[in-house]
Chain A
Amino acid sequence: MSVPATRDTAALIPRRRNPLSQYFSDLWIGIVTILEGMWVTFSHLPKRTITVQYPKEKVPMYPQTRAMLVNHVDDCGYCLSCKRVCPVNIFTITGVRADPGEDLGILPDGKPKKMHIVDFKIDMSKCVYCGLCVEACDTRSLRWEQPQEKPVYNRRDLHLDFSGMTAERKQELLDRDEARKKAKAAEAAAKAAAPKVAPPKPTSESGTASSPAPTPSDPS
């Protein structure tokens, strides 16, 4: 007669031909295994716990953990690879060209840094942690770093800005850029306007193709 209580461990239990001795051997094995199990659970009582009290104690993450994106703007060369590669397009990067002669330091790849990073915003609430941006960054300025968590009360607080500039400085740089652009545009307009008057006009169709400058109405 097969005994349901031990059917599952049939392979482990010696089978006897006599049903009565089978019954007693099953019983004995039952008692022994229960005591064995009780010893196992008891031996775990004084053991060190393997869980940690999370917000109070933290397990250090591995260096390759995709935790939080951090951009060290001093090393960022404004190549926009990260922005281009991001599948969810969450980068907002604004750069302002440095003035001639202004020294912004050297990038890790040995080239001089040419751009002020006025804005480097990442909307982490949309990030899918694919890590493509970090791989795309040649200068290794964009990296995964600790902490692994950033709980916020407002979704806006996940819009990280790494430019590290005050609003005034940003405005100053932007104004400077604006002024420079205006000056350039005015110069270009002047340049475009000057030859426009001098040479005699060919046919209207071929004229647009040969003249590289925009029409005077464009920059304003």
Chain B
Amino acid sequence: MTGIDLLLSVAFAVGVIGFVSVFALVAIYLERKVSAHMQDRLGPMETGGWHGWSQTVADTLKLLLKEDIIPTAADKPLFKLAPFIVFTGSFAAWAVIPFAANLIGADINIGVFYLVAVSSLGVIGILMAGWASNNKWALYGAMRAAAQMVSYEIPIGLSLLVPILLAESLSMKELVEVQAGGFWHWTIFSHLPFALIAFVIYFWASLAETNRTPFDIPEAESELVAGYHVEYSGMRFAMFFLAEYANMFVVSAVVTALFLGGWYAPIPWLDIPVETSVVGSAAIGAFWFSSKAMLLVVVQMWLRWTLPRLRVDQLMHICWKVFMPFSFVNILLLSLWVALCQ
């Protein structure tokens, strides 16, 4: 690795940190507004003047300035470490997200595999947080999170196999490149029944992976106060929050890259090829990619404010008795189809 490569990687990492923070601010604001308007409310309206646009900025400042309380009975090193591990898990996934043809942190040949691996790192942090808090609610939350995330890894992995089978590659970049040329070439539309089922299963299971409603039983305010982060305050709490929103974007980005044509515009002549302009193609690619991912983030919020929380048994039922058989049959049929017809 040459010096310039290293510099570029560092620049990308710093850029992503900036993007994650800004995205989290915008997404939290958006979530408040979406939830408010779905409930015929207005949401934050005061801070910053126009429709309370700076509410989340003010909240972040508040969290930064708040006292960082560590319970006396907590396991201190673990307690301090946990939020960073959770955040690292979701942040590491950004390395392989292909924002544009030439805007990707690391185009490794096992991109999807890496992604599935690091995104389950978060559960270690969550378990750590729950255990170290020395609080029964926190521990319950952490145990639930572990059970849930481990179960949902399987349908996620199986449904990710569908685009991989079609593209015959694990590299995120190549997975997107096979979908070039208009929305009818996007995986979700080009192989309709299989890809659609995989898309729905992945998207749904990823909600469980990010601990969002209807799968927010690890945090379940009404049962567990706040689950694994009940003892956290100030900046450490903010880290969990940031990780949750970063994760939301990551799963949306994966769906975008694998099923919705990644950085390609819906109609081919809206794209700028790399040969014409490097910066232009990166910008337009990032624009399309982020727009699609953002749309999915909004859908996640929409689902969150629509559905009630599942019970633990219902959660397991959906995972093992609905998603699993469907993804298995889906993969099997697709493999047959690929073997016979291609």
Residues of A within 8 A of B (CB): 3-5, 23, 27, 34, 37-38, 40-42, 44-51, 53
Main SS of the interface on chain A?
helix
- B136 neighbours in A (Cβ, 8 Å): none
Residues of chain B contacted by A50 (CB below 8 angstroms): 40-41
Q: Does B62 contact A (CB under 8 A)?
A: no
* Chain B residues, CB < 8 A from A41: 38, 302, 305-306
In the bound complex, CA of A211 to CA of B295 (Å): 99
Query: Of the candidates A3, A37, A48, A49, which one forms a contact with B306 in the assembled complex, judged by CB atoms under 8 Å apart?
Result: A37
CB neighbours of B313 from chain A (8 A): 4
Residues of B in contact with A (beta carbons under 8 Å apart): 34, 36-42, 45, 302-303, 305-307, 311, 313-314, 317-318, 321-322
Q: What are 28 residue pairs bridging A and B, where the CB atoms are less than 8 Å apart in the complex?
A: A3-B317, A4-B311, A4-B313, A4-B314, A5-B314, A5-B317, A27-B322, A34-B306, A37-B306, A38-B302, A38-B303, A41-B38, A41-B302, A41-B305, A42-B38, A44-B38, A45-B34, A45-B38, A48-B40, A49-B36, A49-B37, A49-B41, A50-B40, A50-B41, A51-B40, A51-B42, A53-B42, A53-B45
A144 to chain B, nearest CB (A): 30
The answer for the CA separation of A4 and B311 in the assembled complex, in Å, is: 9
**Residues from chain B with Cβ under 8 Å of A27 in the complex:** 322
* A45 and B37 form a contact (CB under 8 A): yes
Determine the distance from Cα of A44 to Cα of B37 in the docked complex, in whole angstroms. 7
Residues of A within 8 A of B42 (CB): 49, 51, 53
How far, in angstroms, from A38 to B38 measured CA to CA in the complex? Answer: 10
State in angstroms the CA–CA spacing of A107 and B15 once bound together. Answer: 79
Report the minimal beta-carbon distance from B43 to chain A, rounded to whole angstroms: 9
Q: Is the CB of B318 within 8 A of A42?
A: no
Tell me the nearest residue of chain B to A33, going by C-beta.
B307
Take A4-B311, A5-B317, A5-B318 as given contacts and tell me if A42 and B302 are in contact as well, using a CB distance cutoff of 8 Å. yes
**Which chain B residues border A34 with CB–CB below 8 Å?**
306-307
Contacts of B317 in A (CB 8 A): 3-5
Given A4-B314, A5-B318, A27-B322, A51-B41 contact (CB < 8 Å): yes
CB-nearest residue of chain B relative to A4? Answer: B313
Q: Which residue of A lies closest to B204 (CB)?
A: A34
A182 to chain B, nearest CB (A): 61
Beta-carbon contact of B37 and A37 below 8 Å: no
Q: Is the CB of A40 within 8 A of B314?
A: no
Q: Would you give the shortest CB distance from B323 to chain A, in whole angstroms?
A: 11
For B36, the closest partner residue in chain A by CB is A49
Minimal Cβ-Cβ distance residue in B for A43: B38
Set of chain A residues within 8 Å of B38, measured between Cβ atoms: 41-42, 44-45
How near does chain B come to A44, taking the closest CB pair, in angstroms? Answer: 5
Chain A residues whose CB sits within 8 angstroms of the CB of B306 once the complex forms: 34, 37-38, 40-41
**Cβ contact within 8 Å between B39 and A44:** yes
Nearest-CB distance from B329 to chain A (Å)?
A: 13
Apart from A4-B317, A44-B39, A47-B40, list 18 A-B contacts with CB within 8 A: A4-B313, A4-B314, A5-B314, A23-B321, A34-B307, A38-B302, A41-B302, A41-B305, A42-B38, A42-B302, A44-B38, A45-B37, A45-B38, A49-B37, A49-B40, A49-B41, A51-B40, A53-B42
CA distance A96 to B141 in the complex (A): 72
How long is the Cα–Cα vector from A5 to B45 in the complex, in angstroms?
A: 39
Do A37 and B307 touch (CB < 8 A)? yes
Contact partners of A53 in chain B: CB under 8 A: 42, 45
* B135 nearest CB across to chain A (Å): 29
A191 to B290, CA, bound (A): 102
